[in-house]
Copies of this chain bind each other. A is one copy, B any other.
Amino acid sequence: MAGSTFGTVFKIMTWGESHGKGIGVVVDGCPAGVALCEADIQEYLNRRRPGQNRYTTARMESDEVEILSGVFEGRTTGTPISLLVRNQDQRSRDYGNISELYRPGHADYPYDAKFGFRDYRGGGRSSGRETIGRVAAGAVAGKLLREFRITVRAYVSAIGPVTVDRSRMDFSYLSESPVCMPDAEASARAVAYLEECMRAQDSCGGVVECIAKHVPAGLGEPVFEKLDANLAKAVMSVGAVKAVEIGDGTRVCEYRGSENNDCYVTDETGAPRKATNHSGGILGGISDGSPIFVRASFKPTPSIAQPQSMLGRDGKCHEETIRGRHDPIIVARAAVVVEAMTALTLADHLLLAATSRVENLRRLFPPA
C-alpha cells in the first residue's frame, strides 16, 4: 500500500530510487504566502550531500534541486510544490551477484519477501538516497516554521564510544566538523575512531539529537496524534534508526517522580517557567512551550568491506563481500534528515493546532 506519504494537512509524498532517474518529493498543504526559492532547499540538501569528505561515500552527486510547481513570484501559492533532484551518478555498472543475495542488515530480504522482487541497484527505494525527498521537504517546512520564529537544529551527539560534552557544545563549529558534532574536541576524537573503524573494514553507530525552540504550547492532538508519537514515527521512519527518545528518554525509567516532574518556578521577570525540562517540551503529547528535545540512535552502516555470510535467493548461505565504498557512519549525513523530519512534524501540527478552538476560528472567519 501507499507508504510514501507523511503528514495530514502539511503532507508530503516522496519517490525515487538510488540508481533510478532521480529522487523527488511533492509538498502539498504548505500555506500560501511563504517566500521560497531553490537556494532555500539547496542549502539543506548540501548538508546531506555525499562526497563531502572521506567519511562519506565517494559517489559524485551535485544533488541540485529544481522547483517544478507551487511557487509563483517567489512565494508559495498553497498548491503542491514538486521538487526534483536528478541522479547523475547512475551509470550502468556491474552489480555482481547482489541481485541474488540478501545482505545482512539490509532490507534486501524483506523487500523480496514482500514484493516478489526488487530494484537491487544500490538498494533501490531502501537506499539512504531516499532521504533527499525528506530533506528537500523539510527545508520547506523549516522555512514555514521560521515565519513563527520556530527553529529546529540537529547535530551528532555520539559516534561509537565518543560523545559530545554538553558543557562544551558550540553550534558555530557544526559546519566545520566533518562529523557534524558541535564540539571540536569530541569531533576530533570521533574522526580518530572512524579512521580506526575504516582500517578494520568496519562501520559504527551513533546518536543524533534535535532541538526545536520557540514552539508554541498547544501543538499535538490527544491520544494517538500526540506530538511525541508523531515525532517518534517521523524519526523512526529514517533508515537505520533503532530508538527514539523524547526529553530524558530511556533515563526516566530510573527516575523517581519527584526527580522527573518539571516543577514551575517564577523567573526574574515574574513570569512562570518550568524549572527543568525532563519532559523535553512535551506533556501529555502536547507541546508545553519549552524546547522540544528528540534523540535518535542509529545503527552502524550495514555495508562493510568484510566478508559476511549472506542469504541467497537460492535459500543457501554464501560468504561474500559487498563491493563499493560506503559511509563508515550514517549519523553525520543523517543529522539534517532528523532535523527535516522534526520540522515536517512540527509544521503539520502547527497547522492542525489552528483548528482547536472555536474562538480562534471566529477570528479567521468572522460571522457575516
Contact of A302 among B84, B197, B257, B317 (CB under 8 A): B257
B77 and A125 form a contact (CB under 8 A): yes
A300 and B243 form a contact (CB under 8 A): no
A362 close to B (CB within 8 Å): yes
Contact of A242 among B6, B111, B160, B246 (CB under 8 A): B246
Interface footprint category on A: 35 or more
Kindly state the separation between the CA atoms of A304 and B258 in the bound complex, as whole angstroms. 7
What's the nearest-Cβ distance from chain B to residue A4, in Å? 5
What's the nearest-Cβ distance from chain B to residue A109, in Å? 6
13 A–B contacts from the bound complex (CB under 8 Å): A1-B221, A5-B11, A9-B352, A13-B26, A17-B72, A21-B68, A23-B69, A33-B357, A106-B284, A243-B252, A257-B300, A257-B303, A351-B355
Q: Which of A111, A130, A241, A355 has the most CB of B within 10 A?
A: A355
In this complex, what residue of B is CB-closest to A32? B115
A257 and B119 form a contact (CB under 8 A): no
A216 and B250 form a contact (CB under 8 A): no
Contacts of A298 in B (CB 8 A): 252-253
Contact of A258 among B126, B232, B256, B306 (CB under 8 A): B306
A78 and B260 form a contact (CB under 8 A): no
Contacts of A264 in B (CB 8 A): 102, 104, 309-311, 317
Kindly state the separation between the CA atoms of A355 and B81 in the bound complex, as whole angstroms. 16
Stretch with Cβ within 8 A of B (4 or more), from A44-52, A176-184, A223-231:
A223-231
Kindly state the separation between the CA atoms of A127 and B249 in the bound complex, as whole angstroms. 21
Contacts of A116 in B (CB 8 A): 32-33, 357, 359
A22 and B69 form a contact (CB under 8 A): yes
B350 and A80 form a contact (CB under 8 A): no
Kindly state the separation between the CA atoms of A177 and B23 in the bound complex, as whole angstroms. 40
Q: Mark A203-247, 1 if CB is under 8 A from B, else 0.
A: 111110000001011111111111011111111110101111111
A365 and B148 form a contact (CB under 8 A): yes
In this complex, what residue of B is CB-closest to A197? B256
Contacts of A256 in B (CB 8 A): 160, 197, 200, 202-205, 300
B110 and A220 form a contact (CB under 8 A): yes
B258 and A6 form a contact (CB under 8 A): no
A287 close to B (CB within 8 Å): yes
Contacts of A13 in B (CB 8 A): 5, 11, 13, 26, 28, 80
The 6 residue pairs across chains A and B that have the minimum distance between CB atoms: A107-B284, A3-B221, A2-B29, A3-B225, A110-B286, A233-B233
Kindly state the separation between the CA atoms of A229 and B315 in the bound complex, as whole angstroms. 29
B66 and A317 form a contact (CB under 8 A): no
Q: Which residues in chain A, 53-85, are within 8 Å of chain B measured between CB atoms?
A: 66-70, 72-73, 75-82, 84
What's the nearest-Cβ distance from chain B to residue A185, in Å? 19
